[in-house]
Amino acid sequence: MDVKAARGRSSNVQSSEDETMDLRRGPWTVDEDFTLINYITNHGEGRWNSLARAAGLKRTGKSCRLRWLNYLRPDVRRGNITLEEQLMILELHSRWGNRWSKIAQYLPGRTDNEIKNYWRTRVQKHAKQLKCDVNSKQFKDAMRYLWMPRLVERIQAAAAATATTAPATTMNGTSSAGSTTSTITTNTHHHDHNLDVHKGQMALPPDFGVAKTTPSCTPENSSTAASSDSYGTDQISQVSEFTDYYVNIPVNNNPSQDYFPIAGFQGQSLTSPAGNYFNTGLDLQAMEQNNQWLEGGDTSDNLWNVEDTWFFQQQLHNTGI
DNA sequence: AAAACTCTCAACCGCCGGTGC
DNA sequence: GGCACCGGCGGTTGAGAGTTT
Protein backbone atom coordinates (compact mmCIF):
# COMPACT_ATOMS: atom_id res chain seq x y z
CA MET A 1 0.00 0.00 0.00
CA ASP A 2 1.23 3.43 -0.79
CA VAL A 3 1.17 4.94 2.62
CA LYS A 4 2.13 8.27 1.19
CA ALA A 5 -1.29 8.68 -0.31
CA ALA A 6 -3.14 7.05 2.51
CA ARG A 7 -4.02 10.30 4.17
CA GLY A 8 -5.67 12.76 1.91
CA ARG A 9 -4.50 15.77 3.81
CA SER A 10 -0.92 14.61 3.61
CA SER A 11 -0.98 13.79 -0.04
CA ASN A 12 -2.09 17.26 -0.98
CA VAL A 13 0.87 19.07 0.44
CA GLN A 14 4.15 17.51 -0.41
CA SER A 15 7.39 19.31 -0.12
CA SER A 16 9.66 19.06 -3.10
CA GLU A 17 12.15 17.28 -0.92
CA ASP A 18 9.62 14.69 0.05
CA GLU A 19 8.81 14.04 -3.57
CA THR A 20 12.39 13.70 -4.65
CA MET A 21 13.19 11.49 -1.67
CA ASP A 22 9.94 9.55 -2.05
CA LEU A 23 9.46 9.69 1.69
CA ARG A 24 6.81 7.51 3.24
CA ARG A 25 4.06 8.92 5.38
CA GLY A 26 1.19 7.58 7.38
CA PRO A 27 1.09 4.57 9.65
CA TRP A 28 4.30 2.75 10.35
CA THR A 29 4.72 -0.84 9.27
CA VAL A 30 6.10 -3.58 11.49
CA ASP A 31 9.21 -3.71 9.34
CA GLU A 32 9.82 0.00 9.74
CA ASP A 33 9.35 -0.28 13.48
CA PHE A 34 11.79 -3.15 13.61
CA THR A 35 14.33 -1.26 11.54
CA LEU A 36 14.11 1.79 13.74
CA ILE A 37 14.33 -0.18 16.98
CA ASN A 38 17.28 -2.14 15.68
CA TYR A 39 19.14 0.92 14.57
CA ILE A 40 18.63 2.82 17.82
CA THR A 41 19.50 -0.25 19.85
CA ASN A 42 22.80 -0.54 18.03
CA HIS A 43 23.66 3.09 17.50
CA GLY A 44 21.62 5.05 19.95
CA GLU A 45 19.61 8.15 19.26
CA GLY A 46 21.27 10.88 17.33
CA ARG A 47 20.40 13.44 14.75
CA TRP A 48 17.11 12.22 13.55
CA ASN A 49 17.44 13.16 9.90
CA SER A 50 20.76 11.39 9.51
CA LEU A 51 19.48 8.54 11.63
CA ALA A 52 16.58 8.05 9.28
CA ARG A 53 18.89 7.95 6.29
CA ALA A 54 21.46 5.74 7.94
CA ALA A 55 18.81 3.28 9.03
CA GLY A 56 17.47 3.12 5.50
CA LEU A 57 14.09 4.42 6.50
CA LYS A 58 12.26 6.49 3.96
CA ARG A 59 10.89 8.70 6.66
CA THR A 60 11.63 12.17 7.84
CA GLY A 61 13.72 12.55 10.94
CA LYS A 62 10.75 14.07 12.63
CA SER A 63 8.62 11.09 11.85
CA CYS A 64 11.26 8.72 13.24
CA ARG A 65 11.63 10.77 16.36
CA LEU A 66 7.90 10.86 16.93
CA ARG A 67 7.50 7.16 16.34
CA TRP A 68 10.31 6.36 18.73
CA LEU A 69 9.29 8.72 21.50
CA ASN A 70 5.58 8.09 21.38
CA TYR A 71 5.44 4.43 20.58
CA LEU A 72 8.60 2.38 20.31
CA ARG A 73 10.61 3.57 23.27
CA PRO A 74 10.87 0.70 25.74
CA ASP A 75 9.67 2.72 28.71
CA VAL A 76 6.52 3.97 27.06
CA ARG A 77 3.51 3.01 29.10
CA ARG A 78 0.34 2.29 27.25
CA GLY A 79 -3.18 1.64 28.31
CA ASN A 80 -5.63 3.35 30.57
CA ILE A 81 -4.69 6.47 32.41
CA THR A 82 -4.88 5.63 36.10
CA LEU A 83 -6.83 7.67 38.62
CA GLU A 84 -3.62 8.99 40.08
CA GLU A 85 -2.45 10.01 36.66
CA GLN A 86 -5.76 11.69 35.93
CA LEU A 87 -5.49 13.67 39.11
CA MET A 88 -1.94 14.58 38.30
CA ILE A 89 -2.89 15.74 34.83
CA LEU A 90 -5.71 17.90 36.12
CA GLU A 91 -3.46 19.39 38.72
CA LEU A 92 -0.52 20.05 36.47
CA HIS A 93 -2.71 21.42 33.72
CA SER A 94 -4.13 23.87 36.20
CA ARG A 95 -0.63 25.07 36.75
CA TRP A 96 0.91 24.97 33.33
CA GLY A 97 -1.94 24.88 30.89
CA ASN A 98 -1.28 23.06 27.65
CA ARG A 99 2.36 22.43 28.38
CA TRP A 100 1.99 18.81 27.53
CA SER A 101 5.63 17.90 27.42
CA LYS A 102 6.19 19.53 30.77
CA ILE A 103 3.25 17.70 32.27
CA ALA A 104 4.50 14.46 30.75
CA GLN A 105 7.76 14.82 32.61
CA TYR A 106 5.88 14.08 35.80
CA LEU A 107 4.06 11.08 34.43
CA PRO A 108 6.72 8.49 33.76
CA GLY A 109 6.16 6.55 30.60
CA ARG A 110 3.38 8.78 29.40
CA THR A 111 3.98 10.87 26.35
CA ASP A 112 2.91 14.41 25.79
CA ASN A 113 0.80 13.18 22.93
CA GLU A 114 -1.06 10.75 25.13
CA ILE A 115 -1.72 13.34 27.78
CA LYS A 116 -2.84 15.81 25.18
CA ASN A 117 -5.20 13.25 23.73
CA TYR A 118 -6.54 12.45 27.18
CA TRP A 119 -7.25 16.10 27.81
CA ARG A 120 -8.95 16.62 24.52
CA THR A 121 -11.05 13.50 24.55
CA ARG A 122 -12.00 13.28 28.21
CA VAL A 123 -11.70 16.61 29.87
CA GLN A 124 -12.99 18.66 26.99
CA LYS A 125 -15.82 16.20 26.61
CA HIS A 126 -16.99 17.01 30.10
CA ALA A 127 -16.79 20.71 29.38
CA LYS A 128 -18.89 20.12 26.31
CA GLN A 129 -21.43 18.18 28.35
CA LEU A 130 -21.67 21.10 30.72
CA LYS A 131 -22.02 23.45 27.80
CA CYS A 132 -19.20 25.60 28.99
CA ASP A 133 -15.75 26.35 27.78
CA VAL A 134 -12.97 24.17 29.10
CA ASN A 135 -11.12 27.34 30.10
CA SER A 136 -14.08 28.96 31.74
CA LYS A 137 -14.12 29.68 35.43
CA GLN A 138 -17.22 27.59 35.86
CA PHE A 139 -15.64 24.53 34.40
CA LYS A 140 -12.40 24.97 36.29
CA ASP A 141 -14.30 25.30 39.52
CA ALA A 142 -16.38 22.27 38.73
CA MET A 143 -13.23 20.39 37.96
CA ARG A 144 -11.66 21.45 41.19
CA TYR A 145 -14.61 20.98 43.48
CA LEU A 146 -16.28 18.04 41.88
CA TRP A 147 -14.02 16.09 39.65
CA MET A 148 -10.77 16.19 41.55
CA PRO A 149 -12.30 15.42 44.93
CA ARG A 150 -14.12 12.58 43.32
CA LEU A 151 -10.89 11.25 41.92
CA VAL A 152 -9.34 11.54 45.35
CA GLU A 153 -12.21 9.64 46.81
CA ARG A 154 -11.84 6.85 44.38
CA ILE A 155 -8.12 6.68 44.86
CA GLN A 156 -8.65 6.60 48.57
CA ALA A 157 -11.35 3.99 48.33
CA ALA A 158 -9.10 1.82 46.22
CA ALA A 159 -6.30 2.29 48.71
CA ALA A 160 -8.61 1.46 51.57
CA ALA A 161 -9.68 -1.67 49.81
CA THR A 162 -6.06 -2.57 49.38
CA ALA A 163 -5.44 -1.85 53.02
CA THR A 164 -8.27 -4.17 53.91
CA THR A 165 -6.62 -7.00 52.11
CA ALA A 166 -3.20 -6.01 53.42
CA PRO A 167 -3.80 -4.68 56.93
CA ALA A 168 -0.15 -4.39 57.79
CA THR A 169 -0.08 -0.82 56.60
CA THR A 170 -2.27 1.98 57.81
CA MET A 171 -3.35 5.22 56.41
CA ASN A 172 -2.14 8.46 57.79
CA GLY A 173 -5.39 9.66 59.18
CA THR A 174 -8.50 7.81 60.05
CA SER A 175 -9.93 5.48 57.59
CA SER A 176 -12.91 3.33 57.00
CA ALA A 177 -11.93 0.72 54.54
CA GLY A 178 -14.15 0.61 51.53
CA SER A 179 -16.06 3.72 52.40
CA THR A 180 -15.74 7.32 51.35
CA THR A 181 -15.65 8.74 54.83
CA SER A 182 -11.93 8.80 55.39
CA THR A 183 -10.66 11.97 56.89
CA ILE A 184 -8.03 13.81 55.01
CA THR A 185 -5.18 15.02 57.09
CA THR A 186 -3.88 18.39 56.16
CA ASN A 187 -0.16 18.54 55.77
CA THR A 188 0.54 22.00 54.64
CA HIS A 189 4.29 21.81 54.38
CA HIS A 190 4.90 18.32 53.31
CA HIS A 191 7.44 18.10 50.54
CA ASP A 192 7.88 14.57 49.40
CA HIS A 193 9.40 15.02 46.03
CA ASN A 194 9.79 12.17 43.63
CA LEU A 195 6.92 10.42 45.23
CA ASP A 196 6.39 6.82 44.50
CA VAL A 197 2.97 7.44 43.18
CA HIS A 198 2.84 5.19 40.22
CA LYS A 199 5.06 2.21 39.76
CA GLY A 200 7.55 3.93 41.91
CA GLN A 201 8.48 6.77 39.66
CA MET A 202 5.93 9.52 39.59
CA ALA A 203 7.96 12.57 40.43
CA LEU A 204 6.35 15.77 41.49
CA PRO A 205 7.46 19.26 40.62
CA PRO A 206 9.47 20.95 43.35
CA ASP A 207 6.70 23.23 44.51
CA PHE A 208 3.94 20.75 44.07
CA GLY A 209 1.49 21.22 46.87
CA VAL A 210 3.36 23.96 48.63
CA ALA A 211 0.99 25.72 50.93
CA LYS A 212 0.29 29.35 50.46
CA THR A 213 0.41 31.47 53.54
CA THR A 214 -3.11 32.50 52.83
CA PRO A 215 -5.66 30.07 51.56
CA SER A 216 -6.70 31.14 48.13
CA CYS A 217 -9.78 29.18 47.39
CA THR A 218 -12.06 32.11 47.37
CA PRO A 219 -14.51 33.19 44.76
CA GLU A 220 -12.47 36.24 44.03
CA ASN A 221 -9.27 34.58 43.14
CA SER A 222 -10.19 31.12 42.11
CA SER A 223 -9.45 30.11 38.61
CA THR A 224 -8.16 33.39 37.50
CA ALA A 225 -4.44 32.98 37.50
CA ALA A 226 -3.89 29.93 35.42
CA SER A 227 -5.31 27.57 32.89
CA SER A 228 -5.23 29.77 29.91
CA ASP A 229 -4.12 28.22 26.70
CA SER A 230 -1.87 31.14 26.09
CA TYR A 231 0.41 31.39 29.02
CA GLY A 232 2.54 34.40 29.39
CA THR A 233 5.08 34.24 32.13
CA ASP A 234 2.96 36.41 34.31
CA GLN A 235 0.08 34.05 33.91
CA ILE A 236 1.79 31.02 35.26
CA SER A 237 1.03 30.46 38.87
CA GLN A 238 4.09 29.96 40.95
CA VAL A 239 1.96 27.83 43.17
CA SER A 240 -0.89 25.91 41.79
CA GLU A 241 -4.28 27.07 42.74
CA PHE A 242 -5.25 23.46 43.03
CA THR A 243 -2.55 22.42 45.39
CA ASP A 244 -2.77 24.76 48.26
CA TYR A 245 -2.62 21.91 50.67
CA TYR A 246 -1.30 18.47 50.86
CA VAL A 247 -3.62 15.71 51.65
CA ASN A 248 -2.20 12.44 52.73
CA ILE A 249 -3.56 9.81 50.53
CA PRO A 250 -2.02 6.43 50.15
CA VAL A 251 -2.03 5.60 46.52
CA ASN A 252 -0.31 2.30 46.23
CA ASN A 253 0.60 -0.64 48.30
CA ASN A 254 2.81 1.34 50.56
CA PRO A 255 0.46 3.91 52.01
CA SER A 256 2.63 4.69 54.96
CA GLN A 257 5.10 6.35 52.64
CA ASP A 258 3.08 7.70 49.80
CA TYR A 259 1.07 10.84 49.80
CA PHE A 260 -0.77 12.44 47.03
CA PRO A 261 -1.42 16.12 47.01
CA ILE A 262 -4.80 17.55 46.35
CA ALA A 263 -6.04 21.00 46.66
CA GLY A 264 -8.80 22.90 48.23
CA PHE A 265 -9.13 20.85 51.35
CA GLN A 266 -8.17 21.98 54.77
CA GLY A 267 -8.67 19.03 56.99
CA GLN A 268 -12.08 18.37 55.62
CA SER A 269 -13.71 15.06 55.33
CA LEU A 270 -13.98 13.75 51.87
CA THR A 271 -17.64 13.38 52.42
CA SER A 272 -17.89 17.10 51.90
CA PRO A 273 -15.67 17.83 48.99
CA ALA A 274 -17.75 20.72 47.88
CA GLY A 275 -17.18 22.12 51.30
CA ASN A 276 -17.12 25.68 52.39
CA TYR A 277 -14.73 26.99 49.80
CA PHE A 278 -17.18 27.49 47.10
CA ASN A 279 -19.29 30.54 47.30
CA THR A 280 -19.39 31.68 43.76
CA GLY A 281 -23.04 30.88 43.43
CA LEU A 282 -22.53 27.31 42.44
CA ASP A 283 -23.96 25.67 45.49
CA LEU A 284 -22.03 22.49 45.37
CA GLN A 285 -23.08 21.49 48.83
CA ALA A 286 -26.57 21.46 47.51
CA MET A 287 -25.27 19.43 44.65
CA GLU A 288 -23.82 17.04 47.10
CA GLN A 289 -27.09 16.87 49.00
CA ASN A 290 -28.67 16.09 45.75
CA ASN A 291 -26.30 13.18 46.21
CA GLN A 292 -26.17 11.98 42.68
CA TRP A 293 -22.63 12.91 41.96
CA LEU A 294 -21.17 11.01 44.84
CA GLU A 295 -22.79 7.77 43.92
CA GLY A 296 -20.16 5.17 43.42
CA GLY A 297 -19.70 2.60 40.77
CA ASP A 298 -19.00 4.94 37.94
CA THR A 299 -16.05 4.78 35.70
CA SER A 300 -13.39 7.36 35.28
CA ASP A 301 -15.14 8.52 32.17
CA ASN A 302 -18.38 8.83 33.96
CA LEU A 303 -17.45 11.14 36.76
CA TRP A 304 -20.10 13.43 35.45
CA ASN A 305 -23.41 11.81 35.18
CA VAL A 306 -26.58 13.22 33.72
CA GLU A 307 -27.70 14.58 37.05
CA ASP A 308 -24.41 16.34 37.59
CA THR A 309 -24.68 18.02 34.27
CA TRP A 310 -28.29 18.99 34.75
CA PHE A 311 -27.73 20.30 38.23
CA PHE A 312 -24.63 22.17 37.25
CA GLN A 313 -26.47 23.85 34.44
CA GLN A 314 -29.31 24.75 36.80
CA GLN A 315 -26.82 26.39 39.10
CA LEU A 316 -25.40 28.35 36.25
CA HIS A 317 -28.85 29.44 35.28
CA ASN A 318 -30.02 30.32 38.77
CA THR A 319 -26.98 32.33 39.62
CA GLY A 320 -26.82 34.06 36.33
CA ILE A 321 -23.21 33.13 35.75
C1' DA B 1 -27.80 -6.08 9.36
C1' DA B 2 -26.39 -1.81 8.19
C1' DA B 3 -26.09 2.99 8.31
C1' DA B 4 -25.01 6.86 11.17
C1' DC B 5 -22.67 8.62 14.70
C1' DT B 6 -18.98 9.03 18.29
C1' DC B 7 -14.61 8.26 20.19
C1' DT B 8 -9.70 7.31 20.30
C1' DC B 9 -5.15 8.09 19.20
C1' DA B 10 -1.28 7.81 15.83
C1' DA B 11 0.63 10.82 12.83
C1' DC B 12 1.26 15.06 10.55
C1' DC B 13 1.73 20.19 10.29
C1' DG B 14 3.51 24.76 11.23
C1' DC B 15 5.92 27.46 14.29
C1' DC B 16 9.67 28.61 17.20
C1' DG B 17 14.09 28.50 19.51
C1' DG B 18 18.77 26.71 19.58
C1' DT B 19 22.97 25.83 17.24
C1' DG B 20 26.63 25.94 13.94
C1' DC B 21 28.72 27.92 10.01
C1' DG C 1 24.14 39.49 11.92
C1' DG C 2 22.16 36.27 8.61
C1' DC C 3 21.15 31.93 7.05
C1' DA C 4 20.19 27.00 7.14
C1' DC C 5 19.31 23.09 9.60
C1' DC C 6 17.42 20.54 13.30
C1' DG C 7 14.72 19.22 17.28
C1' DG C 8 10.90 20.08 20.16
C1' DC C 9 6.34 21.60 21.00
C1' DG C 10 1.35 22.38 20.69
C1' DG C 11 -2.48 22.13 17.51
C1' DT C 12 -4.99 19.51 14.28
C1' DT C 13 -6.50 15.80 11.36
C1' DG C 14 -8.58 11.60 9.93
C1' DA C 15 -8.60 6.36 9.85
C1' DG C 16 -10.42 2.85 12.19
C1' DA C 17 -12.77 0.94 16.08
C1' DG C 18 -16.67 1.04 18.82
C1' DT C 19 -21.43 2.29 19.81
C1' DT C 20 -26.02 3.64 18.86
C1' DT C 21 -30.06 3.94 16.10
- Residue-wise pLDDT for A141-167, tens only, equals 888 888 888 888 888 888 888 777 755
CATH 1.10.10.60 domain range(s) in chain A: 3-72
Residue A4 in this model has a pLDDT that exceeds 90: no
A225 CA to B19 C1' distance (Å): 35
Q: What is the DSSP letter of A82?
A: P
Radius of gyration of chain A (CA): 23
Q: Which CATH number fits domain A3-72: 1.10.10.60, 3.90.1150.10, 1.10.3470.10, 1.20.1090.10?
A: 1.10.10.60
Residue A107 in this model has a pLDDT that exceeds 50: yes
- Residue-wise pLDDT for A179-194, tens only, equals 333 333 333 333 333 3
Q: Is the CB of A62 under 7 A from strand B?
A: yes
Contacts 24+ apart (CB under 8 A), A163-169: A163/A250, A163/A255, A166/A253, A169/A250, A169/A253, A169/A254, A169/A255, A169/A256
* pLDDT computed for residue A214 by the predictor: 34
* pLDDT computed for residue A202 by the predictor: 55
Mean pLDDT of chain A: 60
Q: Which residue has the higher pLDDT, A32 or A121?
A: A32
Q: Is the CB of A301 under 7 A from strand B?
A: yes
Nucleotide nearest A10 (Cα, C1'):
B12
Q: Which residues contact A286 (CB under 8 A, 6 or more apart)?
A: A315
